[in-house]
Chain A
Amino acid sequence: MIDWLTADSALMPFFDGLIEGAGNTLLSSGAAFAIGLALGVVVLALRVAGGPLGRVAVIVYVSAMRGTPLLVQLLIAYYVLPSLLGISISPLAAGVLALALNTTAYVSEILRAALSTIPAGQTAAARALGMRPWQCWLHVLLPQMFHRALPPLTNEFTVLLKASSLLSLIAVSELATVARNATLQSDLPLQVFAATAAVYFLMLWCASTISRSVERRFARLLPNVH
């Protein structure tokens, strides 16, 4: 039988660590997502306006990112990239970089799908009104794309938040790391991992609830132009 009372006192340091771990998890996945959003736009621009070479490069990049496990990508960023570039980077930087490059591929595909729903006539009309291509992107295409892509993008963030637990496997200190260390110290894996799962559940559930309300807000703010 599991003794939950003994468990309690042995686990006090773990409960303190949980909050810090959760903060690190949020920070690293938030940073990775922000980079991924920016790079996703760049990659999409390369795909639609980069000529045949840019198009093929993006297709190969997206296919590679979606076809290999994130864990293997993390291992490559941690073990291979520094020696390849001749620099040393911290596990956290390697981890966030790999997460960001991974999410970039998904973000660019989400944005591409959103772009394909905007009638080509709008671009033609904007150009006819004398807008430069960048003005057309900034004022016509990007706002509508993000509006349409908001639900899948927030979903992608929750996927990323969930996947960021893999950072613990390349020595980044976050929530899953805290749990693993606490298990080694206390030998109470059930309690530790159940509590950790509960914290993840809470974070992810809050993230999807917030994203749903943001979606509703956004839907009201912007008239749906078709």
Chain B
Amino acid sequence: MSIDFDIVAQATPALLQGLKVTATVSMVGIPLGILAGTVAAYMADSASRPLRMLALGYVELVRNIPFLILVYLSFFGLPKLGLLVSAFGIAIGATAFYTGGYFCEILRAALRSVPRGQVRAALSLGMTGWQVQRHVVVPQIFGFLIPPSVSLTIMMFKDSAVFSVMSLPELTYQSNLMTADTFAYLEVLTTTALIYWGCSAVFDAFGHAMETRVRRWSHR
């Protein structure tokens, strides 16, 4: 079997066009999810029982329902409820929903790494809850947050391939269109995989660089 580089050259522009959509979904959806996950994490550790149950229920949903089923449920189900959301909107929403559940777990583990005594000491010094977070807790947890957050970002970036099932013109969908046109599965799919791999590698390298920077700050 030989590789037809003409097809690779022909397919690459369309695939890069798809990468733009994939990247947009990730760049909007993942930060939104981190925001949601932060809220959920503080809810999960709050004094209010209903808030705790809500946050823990959310995490369990994300942990135990496949991404594909969530996408199907939103894409086919929402119109039946009279909610017309575009495939792009669903992609952003599903990415944010999923990222949030996982980030909540990551943040809770990181928050637990700060000894309770420090928080009590800061409170007894007269700091407000917000000040305790701002000056005592948050500066210490970056080192714990970065590695799992980078893994989560890469995971969600890769999971966006699932959005091809709702004909969102992202990377995998473009790849499916090209293979349906040319039947050049080897060339098109390999190029697609290489594009994903390259992006993941860049994220990974970026994460390592951040980790090294953050580690310089910690004196422990």
The answer to whether A193 touches B76 (Cβ under 8 A) is yes
Does B197 lie within 8 Å of A176, measured CB to CB?
Answer: no
Q: Which of B61, B77, B186 contacts A193 (CB 8 A)?
A: B77
A103 within 8 A of B: no
- Chain A 166-178, CB within 8 Å of chain B: the 1/0 string? 1011000000100
Query: Does A71 lie within 8 Å of B161, measured CB to CB?
Result: yes
Nearest CB of B to A7, in Å: 11
Contact check, B64 vs A200: say whether CB atoms are below 8 A apart: yes
Contacts of B189 in A (CB 8 A): 72, 75-76, 79-80
Which residues 159-212 of B sit at the A interface, judged by CB distance below 8 A?
A: 159-162, 164-165, 172, 175-176, 179, 185-186, 189-190, 192-193, 196-197, 200-201, 204
- The size class of the interface chain A forms with chain B is 35 or more
- A52 in contact (CB, < 8 A): no
Asked whether, in the complex, the Cβ of B165 is within 8 Å of the Cβ of A2, the reply is no
Question: 11 interchain pairs (CB within 8 A)?
Answer: A67-B154, A72-B161, A76-B190, A79-B189, A80-B190, A162-B66, A169-B165, A190-B80, A193-B69, A201-B65, A208-B63
Once the chains bind, are B69 and A196 in contact (CB under 8 Å)?
A: yes
Residues of chain A having any CB pair with chain B under 8 Å? 2, 63-64, 66-73, 75-76, 79-80, 83-84, 158, 162-163, 165-166, 168-169, 176, 179-180, 183, 189-190, 193-194, 196-197, 200-201, 204-205, 208
A178 CB → nearest B CB, Å: 11
* Chain B residues in the interface with A (C-beta under 8 A): 1, 60-61, 63-70, 72-73, 76-77, 80-81, 154, 158-162, 164-165, 172, 175-176, 179, 185-186, 189-190, 192-193, 196-197, 200-201, 204
- Could you tell me if B65 and A84 are in contact, using CB atoms closer than 8 angstroms? no
Q: Are B73 and A189 in contact (CB under 8 A)?
A: yes
Contact status A68-B69, CB under 8 Å: no
Point out which of A64, A75, A201, A208 has the most chain B C-beta atoms below 10 A from its C-beta.
A75
Q: Within the complex, which residue of B65, B70, B77 is in contact with A189, where a contact is CB–CB below 8 Å?
A: B77
